[in-house]
Amino acid sequence: MEKRTFYNEYDSSKTYLWALLLPQVVSFVVAMIFSSIYKTTEEMTSSLAYLFVACILAQACFAFIVFYYNKKNKINFKVASKIQTNFSLRNLIGCMAISIIAVFGFVNLVTWLNSLFASVGFDISGVSLPINNFGWLVINIVLLAIIPAIFEECIFRGIIFNGLRGRGFWFASLISAVMFALVHLSMGQLIFPIIMGVVFAFVLEKTGSLLYTMICHLCNNFIVLLISYIGEINGRQVASIIVNCPLNAIIVIAIAFVAVVAIFLIVKFVLKPAQKKETTIVLTEQTKQDKKTQNLYIFGALLVGVVLWLIIVIYGLLV
């Protein structure tokens, strides 16, 4: 039997539910195991063994989902996800520039919004490994930059965005970006993943290759980790330059707007455009699906994500 070479909206919805729920189930089991080893929650969450497992758990689940789902449904993952290996130095430089602009252009907006969230009691912290020496920096880069760049892109742009693309670019990019943010189940990782989810969708749309969204994602995470490392070594915050200024809102929005314009110009004039033949095939296949059932799957999956996100965030606020 010939393998399917495209994703549809059912694939997007089902994969998102897998990506949302499987890590939570596995996390619960892992937490139960560790809680039987350590006497207190504080002792458990401060142990390196638990931190390592917590950092790789979601990505391990994502890797399982990618391989299992495509094998079970007989999908040609490379073709359906648009993983093209044709390398372009021009696109590489463009992706690196986009990542640098995104981090430094949006960091003040995210810091400002997170400070507002924290001021009303929301927990914006997360599980993280030490990053106070070069060895830990390398470990963080592998676990929190390289691996997520591969498997998160396979899930959220490779399957979910491509599966929704038949509804139009903006629908696919916004829904996949919101799903990307909700899956983090954190108030502190809400705004930036939505922004970057849309940026990554633009990169995939223009280049036609998931490889370049992986590069963007990798560069983005690497820069954030490098900034954290430098800040840890120097004992001060490096990237965020506006924290207590009375004109915070105007300044951070202005900086973010400049970043948006710069990224748009790079996507439009620097990145090499993709051939349109594959997109036309996907759109033709998508029109054969039942739209009412598709809507039920898409928005039902999104609703599950919103509800779970609210439960986790509100629970963190109450405790």
Structure tokens at 303: 């609703």
Cβ proximity of 199 and 180 under 8 Å: no
Structure tokens at 123: 């927990």
pLDDT for position 284: 46
Q: Strand, helix or coil at 122?
A: coil
pLDDT for position 202: 97
pLDDT for position 245: 55
Q: Which residues contact 106 (CB under 8 A, 6 or more apart)?
A: 192, 195, 256, 259
Taking the C-alpha atoms of residue 1 and residue 190, their distance in angstroms, rounded to an integer, is 42
The pTM assigned to this predicted structure is 0.92
Q: Tens-digit pLDDT profile for the chain (319 aa)? A: 689 999 999 999 999 999 999 999 999 999 899 999 988 888 888 888 898 998 899 999 999 999 999 999 999 999 999 998 888 999 999 999 999 999 999 988 888 888 888 777 777 777 788 898 999 999 999 999 999 999 999 999 999 999 999 999 999 999 999 999 999 988 888 889 999 999 999 999 999 999 999 999 999 999 999 998 998 888 766 555 555 555 677 888 899 999 999 999 999 999 999 876 544 444 445 455 477 888 899 999 999 999 999 999 888 788 6
Q: How many CA atoms lie within 13 A of 168 on its CB side?
A: 3
**pLDDT tens, position by position, 206-235:** 999 999 999 999 999 999 999 989 988 887
Biggest CA pair distance of the chain? 64
**pLDDT tens, position by position, 148-173:** 999 999 999 999 999 999 999 999 99
Alpha-helical regions (H) of the chain: 9-35, 41-45, 48-72, 77-80, 89-119, 134-141, 147-153, 162-164, 169-182, 191-207, 210-234, 248-269, 277-286, 291-318
Length of the chain: 319
Structure tokens at 183: 């899956």
Q: Which residues contact 251 (CB under 8 A, 6 or more apart)?
A: 108, 242, 245
Cβ proximity of 166 and 179 under 8 Å: no
